[in-house]
Amino acid sequence: MLRLFAFLLFILHSSFFTLHSQTQLPPYLDPSKDIETRVEDALSRMTLAEKISVIHAQSKFSSPGVKRLGMPDFWTDDGPHGVRPDVLWDEWEQAGQTNDSCVAFPALTCLAATWHPSLSAMYGAALGEEALYRGKAMILGPGINIYRTPLGGRNFEYMGEDPYLTSRMVVRYVQGLQSVGVASCVKHYCLNNDEEYRHQVNVIVGDRALHEIYLPGFEAAVKEGKAWGVMGAYNLYKDEHNCHNQYTLGKILKQDWGFDGVVVSDWGGAHDLDQAVKNGLDMEFGTWTDGLTMGATNAYDMYYLSKQYQKAILDGKYTTKELDEKVRRVLRLFFRTTMNKKKPYGFLCSEEHYLTAQLVAREGIVLLQNERNVLPIQAEGKKILVVGENAIKMMTVGGGSSSLKAQHEISPLQGLQEHLKGSDCQIEYARGYVGDTSGNYNGVTTGQNLKDDRTPEELIAEAVEKAKTADYVVIFGGLNKSDYQDCEGHDRKTMDLPYNQEKLITAIADVNKNTIYVNISGNAVSMPWRKQVPAIVQGWFLGSEAGIALAAILLGDVSPSGHLPFTWYESLDQCGAHSFGEAAFPGIWREGKKIIDEEYKEGIYVGYRWTDKQKLKPAFAFGHGLSYTTFKVSNLRCAFNETTDGNMTFKVDVTNTGDRPGADVVQLYITDVKCSVDRPVKELKAFQKVILKPGETQTLTLNTDKRALSFWDETTGDWKAEPGDFIAWAGDASDRLTCKVKFTLK
């Protein structure tokens, strides 16, 4: 009995001291301390080897924490449209897990086409919850490089051509993702506007174009979104790779913008120890020994920011000054993510996530053309012929690092069939063309057998014959995520549709007056047959709920409200990047060097800025998007017609003049009437999406600031707004501006 009493007394005594010790946590473990205090305390406790270990990868997608100090491994994963399936520790092969399927959200071109920042926040939060469930602390996204040319292989992962639209959408995405404790790694910083030879391209661009076009999205993500991570790009600027660049990283990102997060290398994007140490890189990730291709058992010890960096410090080549700054940033990231005990639990493939994906898809689909009001389809008692490989092909697999293992993907044909189940509408299908039937990427397979050995002529003949007796023909064409289409690693070779689609479309349009073409892609395509086809819809890569969203639009459950985030050229001749010869795109190899110099000779004149300047009429203008109802934007006015600080408040009326509810995107552009430098005809500076009932009018308030009136002054290296007259324009597309007002900056 006495022994039992003594034992219990010992337990109570031990518990007292355990509880007491818990109240004396070291500062780095005390959540009541501010992050900077915790960072400095943790830094002071780390050995040189531990500091080195946290600034480079230990596997394909992870870096080690500090186990001695209770800091877990740090796991990243690809986005930006869903959480990529897990691969083996040091191989790209699938890990074979059964719980790494995900919701595939629409591609970012579709998200940008919603012109709805609140949806961007919902998108980011839903993606963050999926990442949390999978144990990921950082999503490698979003991508926000500018749509410079429709040949860009990775444009589908980005947010279009306009820096202001990109800025508004990326801020809310980052905030949504990080609101659940998952770091956003905004990419690819910067000037990563083409994929071919992306490791060798040295971009030559003027300071005005750099700051006015290519940097604002990143600046907004950092300053307003408070992004915790930024990924460097593969390409070079001023002959330095952008994963360790003294200008873009050292000066602009960290010094000028005050970025306090982590710069992560793109996989294999580091090339030099001295530059990696001194020019802004914080965490080096990659593949195998050299970060890209070579394999070895001690692969990750061979990274620039690994054993060779540690040895250089011990040999006296470097002090620990640069190292400690890198580690501070990494520790800050740990305390925001893996060491954040207040982050919520994650969810995978929840109903809410699918609803978010569906809502983004529906609001991003763009009605480009609708002659004779062919859309929406009046399906009752009718026969609908669906044509095209893209009506049945899964699009979530492929495209590069954004390839996903979706829990499910509803095809356009399935969506229409499901929507019309039980009705007296007949649906037939004809293949029409055969494209890429492989259906696999990086070990993930669609399971689809798309093989068809018929000739193009046989496929077209079958589709035409069926089209003759159909009330409507819906052709699902466009691109896919194969090489040289919408895919990482290569740019498109042409703007034309592949796989004999032009012949198919014109042949069907010749026999059926109610032909509807739905383009599935992240890029614009040439449409020489455009005037033969009454209805054209841009359907993007819509992810898991693609078929549901497309059916809702085509059959009229929802009125389309997407607007283009880029200019849809008639041909490459209308694109500024293609107007200055090979030197401007794709660039010219240096003699005797493995470097391509690509000069952005169009400068600030990207997209609608170029077509405005050259007085060109594109196929569809930036900001264009039709509806099943009509709208009137009118009565633009400003609160005062003079300003000294540049801040302006505009009011504008928008009325639904049709007979059904719908949403419109009201866009505000500003013209500098007279300036000491050449400026665009107009530039987007505010927008708002609004839902209206038939006959309803709302007055919108649109605010701008001095930055909206400014240009980048290359002589002072800063933003400058010159006093004088300005004009504000309002409408619902860059070529449909129905009202204006003049004001003065004093």
Preceding peptide of 498 cis, ω within 30°: no
User: 3-class secondary structure for 538-605?
Assistant: ECCCCHHHHHHHHHHHHCCCCCCCCCCCCCECCCHHHCHHHCCCCCCCCCEECCCCCCEEEECCCCCC
Asked if residues 470 and 463 have their Cβ atoms less than 8 Å apart, the reply is no
Model confidence at 23, pLDDT cuts 50, 70, 90, reads low
DSSP state of 160: -
Closest CA to 618 of 565, 569, 564, 578: 569
Active-site choice (266, 282, 491, 732)? 266
Look at residue 288 in the predicted model and tell me its pLDDT: 62
Q: What share of the chain is helix, strand, coil (3-state, %, to 5)?
A: 30, 20, 50
Q: Please tell me the distance from the alpha carbon of residue 242 to that of residue 573, in angstroms, as a whole number.
A: 30
Strand duo 74-78 + 472-478: pairing: unpaired
Q: Please tell me the distance from the alpha carbon of residue 184 to that of residue 139, in angstroms, as a whole number.
A: 5
Residue 737, C-beta contacts closer than 8 angstroms, at least 6 positions apart: 667, 669, 682, 729, 730, 731
Look at residue 8 in the predicted model and tell me its pLDDT: 44
User: 3-class secondary structure for 8-25?
Assistant: HHHHHHHHHHHHHHHCCC
Q: Which structure tokens are listed for 607? A: 């997209």
Look at residue 351 in the predicted model and tell me its pLDDT: 97
Domain locations along the chain: 351-567, 629-746
What is the rounded average pLDDT for all residues in the chain?
A: 95
266 assigned to active site: yes
Give the whole-number percent of the chain exceeding pLDDT 70: 95
Q: Please tell me the distance from the alpha carbon of residue 4 to that of residue 24, in angstroms, as a whole number.
A: 31
Contacts within 8 Å (CB) and 24+ apart, 453-461: 456/499, 456/500, 456/503, 459/430, 459/431, 459/432, 459/433, 459/434, 459/504, 460/432, 460/433, 460/500, 460/503, 460/504, 460/507
Q: pLDDT digit string (tens) for 437-446?
A: 999 998 999 9
- Average pLDDT (532-542) is 98
Q: Distance between alpha carbon 210 and the CA centroid of its chain, in Å?
A: 19
Write out the CATH class of domain 351-567: alpha beta
pLDDT at residue 291 tops 60: no
- Average pLDDT (489-504) is 98
Q: Please tell me the distance from the alpha carbon of residue 194 to that of residue 491, in angstroms, as a whole number.
A: 6
Look at residue 218 in the predicted model and tell me its pLDDT: 98
Query: What region does 324 belong to: left with phi over 0, alpha with psi -120 to 50, or beta?
Result: alpha
Model confidence at 296, pLDDT cuts 50, 70, 90, reads low
DSSP state of 453: -
Q: pLDDT digit string (tens) for 216-259?
A: 999 999 999 999 999 999 999 999 999 999 999 999 999 999 99
Asked if residues 654 and 700 have their Cβ atoms less than 8 Å apart, the reply is yes
Q: pLDDT digit string (tens) for 128-163?
A: 999 999 999 999 999 999 999 999 999 999 999 999
pTM, rounded to two decimals: 0.95
Model confidence at 93, pLDDT cuts 50, 70, 90, reads confident
Provide the CATH topology of domain 629-746. Immunoglobulin-like (2.60.40)
- Average pLDDT (196-225) is 98
